[in-house]
Structure formats: structure tokens, C-alpha cells
Structure 1
Amino acid sequence: MIENPILPGFNPDPSICRVGGDYYIATSTFEWYPGVQIHHSTDLVNWRLVTRPLSRATQLDMRGNPDSCGIWAPCLSHADGLFWLVYTDVKRYDGSFKDAHNYIVTAPSIDGPWSDPVYVNSSGFDPTLFHDDDGRKYFANMRWNHRPKGANPVNPAFDGILLQEYDAAAGELVGPVRNIFDGTPRGLTEGPHLFKRDGWYYLTVAEGGTSWEHAVTMARSLDIWGPYDPHPDGHLMTADHAPEAPLQRTGHGQMVETPDGRTYHTFLCGRPLSTRGRCPLGRETGIVACEWGADGWLRLSDGRDQPALREAAPDPQASRAAPEAATYRFDGGLPLDFQWLRTPAPDRIFATGSDGLTLFGRESIGSWFEQALVARRQTDFTFTAETELSFAPESYQQAAGLTHYYNTHKFFFLAVTREEGIGRCLTLMTCPGRWPDPHLDHPLPAPVPIGDGPVRLRLSVDRDRAQFSWAQGPDDWQDIGPVLDASLISDEAGRGAHANFTGAFVGMAAFDISGQGRPARFPTFTYTPGT
């Protein structure tokens, strides 16, 4: 069986394509670098992260991008012997404008080398590239409207889906640009993908926003330019009417056919801690089995409109491997599980080698430009993360340690620093999402003095409970600080899911706001899933 979500933790906006017997899913990475995650599978059950193609400054520079900006909704396809990746780099979130720039990169193999980007347009976000069977290519994206009136009255900013032909040889859009679909009354129409079957062009879009009203909507036309008629059932899938369903926020995906002609559709989803509660694992990726009806419309199998935790797999013998603990030593470079924030110049913020990961303290943990924070996704409701740290701070302006991180307004940070009259010590900084106030809380009554030498730091999370602890001897673990509300490290906390749509990370961070770049060394990092 397929067990949903197939990509647990922060993996939203899944675009899927098949090449022979290989399936690939590309997901959004927002402000995390390198850009775009691509997973591979041969059975739709087991998935492995294989690459992040936007890995150099000529492709992507997100310094200064606000939280939840950066890479939105990539589209991955394969044609003409190449992989084609379309993506948006969003430079602004608040206010009337988005400043969303769309690009295309290509590669002969999923492992690269990936080309420098070709700029396409900036009329909106969530781009897609469709390769028609006559060899022509078409580029579509939602159109962003900064005015108070638009095509859809629910949210006028989402002003329909634009389509234009793309000349790959010239690297530019050509011919007329047309609005082919205004969406349904649900509104917030985005995330377009095109699929052709039996002479029909099928358009799938995401609607309803990124929270409980999210949905996948389908429309079709015999002409790629439209008009597109909406699905007679309203929506292909949604959980808005089922608050008790384990998979919530279902929407934004793409269909794929297996070699033997069966159809599946990816979707993003969230798993709340309680009914319509917070989703600390962020927006995850699932996949659902579908069937074509006699009327030529796609529906979820068995007539459902909600994906299930378990779906029938193409291979009934396939089974998913259980998650295992992972210990990272950093002697072979930065493991693929880890990312950093925004900057295309990682040598400024970290180095790897036989002695582990070294972070060079840069700007504060709240910076949008250059901060030394290297982390991996939280992929389990219950987990333990542990690291060891060697760090010799000279002042309170230098700190390094273990962080549970969502964005610049929502994080916990247990750090080694130095205080006057105390010396080297541990401090706990939290930023609990009091929008728009980003000021820190300091839950410890006073910093905890520690001796010289390495110190071990640990974070234990059990759903909505987070507890830090520390040790300097082999078995002298001590809890430090109160039990923290781990559900704050989620989309729904703070400004809410329509302003935050990434996911929780756990990892290592260092800052040195004196400007000296004080190094902090982490020989190992261990992530252990709970039960």
C-alpha cells in the first residue's frame, strides 16, 4: 500500500512526472537553499531525495527574501531528452504586490548538470510548462492583480490562469497571452497543470488557499486556449467538509499515469495535532489513486473526494520502509537532508570536514540575509535531535547551539554564549510568533554556567511538547528550561496558515553580531524518530 503522506514533513506543491519506470516529484522550498527538492521512486511507495537543482548564485539568490517567499510551486517535466524545471522566486509577501519572477532550467539527467535559468515572465506565480504532442510548448501561471477588482470576487488578487506559447529555441514566450480560466467561486485559483487525454486538455488548479478550504479543481477543453468547463462534481478533492479526516488542507497537485495506464494524483496536505489544530509538520505530499469515468472526467477511486492514509499501490507487493535514526558526521560534505537559508554563498556560513560541521557566526537568527543555520526537516510528530558543540564565545553577542526553527518569528534556540559575571553559559531564546512583534522571550530565570570543553545539546519533541536538555559528561543529561509548546513551530501559529506555509526544521545555528565570524564546531548530529 501507499502510506500517506509519501513525503512527510515540509514538502508542499508536488509536481510529478514519469520517465519510463521512474517517478520524480518536485516540491517547493521557499527560503531554504538550495532550491527545489526532487524525490525519486520506482513504485510510488518508497521515495528518496535525489537532488536540489538550484544550487548556485546564477540560478538563485534569496538574500533579503522575506519568510515564506523564495521558491514557490515548481513544475517538473520531461521532453526532448531533457528535464525541464519551471519555478518562481517570490521577492515580496506583504502588501499589494508579490514581485514574482518565473524561470526555466533544464538538465539531461535528474542529477544535472542543471542549466543557468532562462527568465520567462513576472505576471504571477505557480508556473507550469506543458509539452503538447505536436511538439509545441505552452507556459501557464496564475496572474497576480494588485488592484481591488479582479476576475474572481472571492480574492481579486488571484486573477485567473494565463497561457502563452513558449519558444524553447528562442528561450522566450511568443504569441498572444490569454486568460484561460478564472476559477470557480471557491477562489484563490493558482497552481495550474495541464494534461492531455483522448483529445481533451485537462487543467488542474489549486483553489481555496493553503488552509482548511484548500482543494484541487479540474476543468477541461477540446482547445488548449479554452474555454475550460469545470468538473461536474465541483472539485476533484478537498477535505473542507470533513474536519475529522486525518489528512487536511488537501490541494495543489498534479496527475501522472503509470506505464500500464493507471492514474494517480499528487496533493499537498497537513496533519493537525487535533481537529483543525496546528500542523507542525507543515504541508506534506501525498498521492491518491484515481479512475476515469465513462463521462471522461477523473475522480478519486471509489467515488471519494478525500485522499486516504493508505492507497492502493501499482505493485501490491511494495511496502514502505520504516523510518530510522540518522547520525550525520559531515566528513563527506553537507548531507542531502540538510539545507540553509537564502544565501548562495555557503562557504561564508559553514564548512565541513573530518572534524564535523563548522558554522561561522554571521547575522542574527532573525536575519533575512546571511545567517549561519543548517537544519533538516522535522518529519515525525515525535523525535529526538542531539548534537555536540565546541564553541568559545567572547561575549553575549556570540551564540551557537541547537534550534527548532520555523521562521524568523517562530523558533526555539538553546545556545552556548558568554555573560558578564557568569562566563560561558547556556541560554534559551524563544520567539513564539507574536506577529508583528519579533522580540525574544528568555524562559530561563538566569543563564546556566557551564565549564570549558564540548557540550552536548538535545531536543525531545512529543507532538506539542518540546524539552531541551544538556550534558557535559557521558550520562549527566539535565533538562533545561520549561516544556515549550512545540505546536508554535507550525504554519498555523503566529500570522496563520495563509501567511506561513513552510514547515518545521531542527538543526544547528550560530550568530556573531559583533562581526567577527566566531566559529562553532558540531562533530555530529543525530535525528531519532519516535514511535
Structure 2
Amino acid sequence: MIQNPVLTGFNPDPSIVRVGDDYYVATSTFEWYPGVQIHHSRDLVNWRLLTRPLTRASQLNMLGAPDSCGVWAPCLTYADGLFWLIYTDVKRYGRTSTGGATGSASLRDFHNYLVTSPSIEGPWSDPVYLNSSGFDPSLFHDDDGRKYVLNQLWDHRPGSNRFAGIVLQEYADGKLIGKRENIFKGTAHGLTEAPHLYQRNGYYYLLTAEGGTGWNHGVTMARSRNLLGPYELHPDVTILSARHRPDVALQRAGHADLVETPDGQTYMVYLCGRPLRNRGTCTLGRETAIQPMVWGEDGWLRSRDGLGSPESQAEAPGLPEHRFAPAPVREEFDAPGLPLAFQWLRTPWPEALFSLTARPGHLRLYGRETLGSQFRQALVARRQQAHCYSASTVVEFEPEHYQQQAGLVCYYGAAKFHYLYITHDEEAGKHLRVMSSLPNHVQTDTFTAPIALPSGVPVQLRVEVDEERLYFGYRVDEGDWRWLPQQFDASILSDEANAPGMPNFTGAFVGMACQDMAGTALHADFDYFEYRERPYCIDPRVKT
């Protein structure tokens, strides 16, 4: 059986392709660098993170991009001996992460690009610029060899439907040619986006997402004998959604893509969210699930139950089992490159933020800008992929004043984080405290009281997360962990915990950070990072 979601933690907007016996799923990475995650499977049950193709400045530079901008909705296809990857680089989505205006709530900057590679692991080409008319681009390879780009059309005019439909334009010789056509204006659900086009039995089938990427999300299907339409709606309109199923574990289901197995079975990948039981917020962000679908005698696609329900357990296609080695729980930073699970924010020049060779066996972070910066943050982190987990690290850091900080951070974005950090000031000397950035109608930062630390010794830092409960601990020797008395709210590290005007499309991360607001780039050395998922946690402050 397939246990959904198959890609846990922040892995939204899946696009799937099969090449021979191999399946690849590309997902959005937003402001996290490198851009686009590609996972690999041979049985649709077991998956591994394989690569991130957008690795250099000529392909992607997100400096200055607000939270939840950057890389949206990649589409991965294969034709003519090449992998084709099309993606949006969003430069502005109306508001800043702290709720302030960036100039206009209606004018948006969506730049669509195409890269190619003969191998899924690259090297990938420099990008071809396509258009900036909307987001969620996809590439359709017609049976006659012609290619077409589809994307959501954005209409900024007053009184207009911002989500103005799905447009299609031919692509040839490295550019879009011919007239742009609006082939589908959507349904009453609205917010029509995420187009994918397929050919089957003389029809063009158009798959879109509607209702927005929250609780009303769903997958809509339409078809036409002609590429340019008109497209008739599926009799059920929506073929997959949880909007009327509050009882199912996978909510927010939508933004889908289709793939066929060698024997002709059709599977759908789609994004979903698993809300916390006590808070109803999705700290894991939007994840990726997959389940079989069935073509009816009327030529329309439906779920196995006929109700369009997302499945927590789905029937696998019966392919030979292909397991991968489990990801390591502990990273020692012994290699010259960053472990694949980790990413940083925005910049294509990571050497200004960190090094794994300056002190072998350590991740060295150079103190840069604040955790709210949209430019150069020395923050290296990995996805939270379970509701209950433990993470720990050890840091050597000798700050000289309060503008120098380093430590362990649980991070969603510039307005939502809990940061256990080491710093120094005239009164407390070297000390440890927590800064929490809490989203509400008036952005609020809170601080715990300082805890004195000795100089010249490494400090171990640890976090335990039990659904919405978050606990921080530390120790300076091999004795018992010392736990801060506070219980912190992990549910703010979610899409739904909102600051005014703030887009929320990513997920919770846990990792290491270093700041030096004085501009002297004082470094912090981290010897390891451990991330361990748990079936449940207990309050570590309570002796058992």
C-alpha cells in the first residue's frame, strides 16, 4: 500500500513524470535555495530526494524576494531525449511578510522560465524566459511534436477576476510564438490555476486546481476534441477534494498531475495538508500524496470511491518493491558539500553565508543579516516532516555584544519563528535566550529571560516538538539537559497562522542560524545536526 503523504513536509504543487521504470516528482521550493525539489521512485511507494536543479545565479536569484515568493509550481516533463522543467520565479505577491504594502496588492511579478537537461541530475541549462502573464506554467508535448505553454492568467484591472483563466501559447525555437489563447475561464469555485494538459482517446484533457490552496482546494477536469476548445466540464466538475470531507486526514487536496504506469494504470499526485489535531493548522505545510484513479466508460476520470476523496492509504500499482537507504538521523558535516536535506534562503552565493571547509567536520555560519532579512541570512535548515520530532546541535560561538547571535531555530518565515540563541550583553555577559516572532494583528516579538553561559565551551542546543507544543533545552557538558520552563507554541509555524496580508505557502523548518548586525561577520561553528522523528513526545521538563 501507498502511505500518504509520500513526500512529507513542505513539498507542494507536485508534477510527475515517468521515464522508463523511473518516476520523478518536482515540487515547489519558494524562497529556499537551491530551487525545485525532485524526488525519485520506482514503485510509487518508496521515494528519495534526488536533486535540486536550479543551483546557480543564471537560473535563479531570489535576493529581495518576500516570504512565500520565489519558485512556484514547477512542471517536469520528458520528450525528445530531454527533461523539460518549467517554473515561475515570483518577485512580488502584493504584501511583505510583516503585512506592509510593497506597492500594490493587484500588481504582481510572475516570471516564467524553462530549463532542460538530458539527465535528471543535470547539468541543467540556463533558462529561457517565457512570459510574466501569470503563474503555474506547464509544458504540453502534443502528439504531432508541437509544444505549448499553459499558465494561469493574472488580471490586475479593477473589478476583474484576478484569476482570469488558463492561457495557451505555442513554444518553438526557444520562444513563444503565435497568439495567446484563453482556453478555460474556470468554474464558480474560482481561483483557477495549476493547468496540466493530456491527450487520450481523441480528447485533450485539462486538469486545473480551483478554490484556492486552503480548505476549499480541489481538482477540476475539462475536455475538448480541439486543443483550443471549447472545453466541456467533467460531470462532477471537481474530481478530487476534501472541501466537503472534514473527517479525512488529508485536507486541502488539490493542484494535481497525472502519470500512467507501464500497464496503463493512471495515478494522480496532488498536494494536501495534515492539520494539527488540537489547532487545525498545518505546520508541515503542503505535502504530496498519490493515489490511483479510474477512467469510466464515459471517458471521464474519477477516484476509486467515485466521491473524489483523498486517500491516506492507496493501492500501489504492483511494481517490484524498490526501497532506498533511510536518510541519516545525524549529519556530521564531514563532506565538503551541504547534506541534501538542508537548504538556505534566497541567495545563489552561499559561500558568503556558510562553509564546510573552513573548519573541516563543522558547518561554519558567518554572521549576516537578521532573521527577518529578505537578502542575506546565514540560516541553514531542513524541513520538519513529522508532527513530533527532536532536533539537536552543538555550537561554538563567542559573541562580544548583543548584535551577534547564533543558535537553533524553528522557522516558518520572517514573521513566524522561535529562536534559541546565544548572545552577549553588558549586564548578562554570554547568555542564552529565546526570541519568538508571533503573528497577529500587531506583529509581536517576545523574549525569555537570559540564562548565563560559560565562555570558551561548546553549547548543545535541543528542541522537542509534540504537535503544537515546543520545548527548548541546552547543556554545556555531558550532564542532564536543562529545559527552559516555557512551553512555546509550535502551531504558529504554519500556513494558517497569519500576519495581515502575508502569503503563507511554505512550511516549518528547523536548523541553525547566525547573525552579526554590526557587520563584522563573526562566525559560529556547528559540529553536527540531528533530526529524529518520533511517534509521540512527552514534556521533557517533567521527570519520569
Short-chain TM bin: over 0.9
SS in 1 for 2:445: coil
Could you tell me which amino acid in structure 1 is paired with residue 167 of structure 2?
L
Paired residue for 2:295? 292
Where does 1:60-99 land on structure 2 (aligned, <5 Å)? 60-94=60-94, 95-99=105-109
**Could you tell me how far apart the structure 1 residues matched to 2:206 and 2:176 are?**
20
Corresponding letter in the other structure for 1:5 = P
Distance 2:110 2:213 in 1: 18
CA contact (8 A) 2:41 2:322 kept: no
Q: Which residue does 2:144 correspond to in 1?
A: 134
Q: Say whether 1:172 aligns with 2:175.
A: yes
The DSSP-based 3-state class of the residue aligned with 2:405 is strand
C-alpha separation in 1, matches of 2:52 and 2:325: 24
**d(CA) in 2 for partners of 1:497 and 1:464?**
24
Q: Does 1:124 align with 2:134?
A: yes
Q: Is the 8 A contact 2:43 2:322 kept in 1?
A: no
**Matched residues in 1 for 2:350 and 2:209: separation?**
34
- The structure-2 alpha-carbon separation of the partners of 1:300 and 1:137, relative to structure 1 and needing over 3 Å to count, comes to same
Residue identity in the other structure for 1:210:
T
2:471 equivalent to 1:467? yes
Per-residue deviation at 1:469?
0.1
Q: Does 1:410 align with 2:416?
A: yes
Are the aligned partners of 1:129 and 1:137 in contact in 2 as well (CA < 8 Å)?
A: yes
Letter in 2 for 1:504: A
Runs of 4+ that moved beyond 6 A = 319-324
What is the deviation of 1:316?
6.9
* Alpha carbons 2:33, 2:347 under 8 Å: kept: yes
1:238 matched to 2:248: no
Does residue 486 (structure 1) correspond to residue 490 (structure 2)? The answer is: yes
Q: Distance in 1 between matches of 2:3 and 2:322?
A: 9
1:451-488 per-residue CA deviation (whole Å, 9 max, x = no partner) reads 43100000000011000000011122100251101111
**Conserved? CA contact 2:431–2:450, under 8 Å:** no
Q: Which among 159, 166, 169 is matched to residue 164 of structure 2?
A: 159
Task: Give yes or no for contact 1:148–1:157 (8 Å, CA) kept in 2.
Answer: no
Per-residue CA deviation, residues 298-346 of structure 1 (Å, 9 max, x unaligned), is 0011313111110000127748789776101122110000000000110
- The separation in 1 between residues aligned to 2:499 and 2:4, in whole angstroms, is 27
Q: Distance in 1 between matches of 2:33 and 2:502?
A: 22
- State the shift of 1:193 in Å: 0.4
RMSD (Å), alpha carbons: 1.6
Aligned residue number for residue 205 of structure 2:
202
For the 8 Å contact 1:142–1:192, the answer to whether it is kept is yes
Rounded to whole Å, the distance in 1 between the matches of 2:109 and 2:327 is: 41
Between the aligned partners of 1:77 and 1:85, the Cα distance in structure 2 is 7
Choose the corresponding residue for 2:221, options 218, 221, 240: 218
The equivalent of 2:538 in structure 1 is none
Q: 1-side partners of 2:394 and 2:405: how far apart?
A: 14
**How many Å separate the matches in 2 of 1:319 and 1:238?**
30
Deviations along 1:424-450, one digit per CA (max 9) or x if unpaired, are 11021110112562x4210x2334334
Which letter does structure 1 place at the counterpart of 2:41? S
> Does the CA contact (< 8 Å) of 2:469 and 2:487 recur in 1?
yes
Secondary structure of 1:492's counterpart equals coil
Match in the other structure for 2:462: 458
Q: 2:367 aligns with which of 342, 361, 371?
A: 361
Which amino acid is the alignment partner of residue 111 of structure 1?
E
> Which one of the candidate residues 101, 107, 122 is aligned to 2:111?
101
Which is further off, 400-409 or 296-305?
296-305
Which amino acid in the other structure matches residue 153 of structure 2?
R
Q: Does 1:378 align with 2:384?
A: yes
Q: Are the equivalent residues in 1 in contact too, given 2:441–2:500 (CA < 8 A)?
A: no
Counterpart residue identity of residue 223, structure 1: N
Deviates more, 1:86-95 or 1:474-483: 474-483
* 3-state DSSP of counterpart to 1:441: strand
Q: How many residues are matched?
A: 522
Which of 361, 380, 395 is residue 401 of structure 2 equivalent to? 395
Q: Is 1:52 the equivalent of 2:52?
A: yes
State whether residues 210 and 498 of structure 1, in contact with CA within 8 Å, keep that contact through their aligned partners in structure 2: no
Tell me the CA shift for residue 496 of structure 1: 8.3
Match for 2:527 among 509, 518, 523?
523
Q: For residue 353 of structure 2, what is the amino acid of its counterpart? A: I
Distance change >3 Å, CA 321–CA 308, structure 1 → 2:
farther
Partner of 2:13: 13
Range moving further from structure 2, 327-336 or 59-68: 327-336
Q: Deviations over 1:3-24 (max 9, x none)?
A: 1000000000000001011000
Contact 2:433–2:449 (CA<8 Å) still a contact in 1? no
Residue 481 and residue 366 in structure 1: after superposition, are their counterparts in 2 closer, same or farther (change >3 A)?
farther
Q: What is the letter of the counterpart of residue 267 of structure 1?
A: Y
Instruction: State how far apart, in whole Å, the 1-side matches of 2:418 and 2:223 are.
Output: 47
Aligned to 2:42: 42
* Partner in structure 2 of residue 112 of structure 1: 122
Percent identical residues: 56
Unaligned runs of 5+ in 2: 95-104, 536-544
Q: 1:481 to 1:97 in 2, by over 3 A?
A: farther
> Residues 213 and 239 of structure 1 are in contact (CA less than 8 Å); yes or no, is this contact kept in structure 2?
yes
Q: Work out which of the residue numbers 304, 309, 313 in structure 2 matches 1:301.
A: 304
The aligned runs of 1:219-368 (5 Å cut-off) are 219-274=222-277, 277-315=280-318, 318=321, 326-332=329-335, 333-353=337-357, 354-368=360-374
Q: Is the 8 A contact 1:417 1:426 kept in 2?
A: yes
Q: CA deviation at 1:274?
A: 2.5
- Partners of 1:7 and 1:482 lie apart in 2 by 32
Distance in 1 (CA, whole Å) between partners of 2:400 and 2:252 is 47
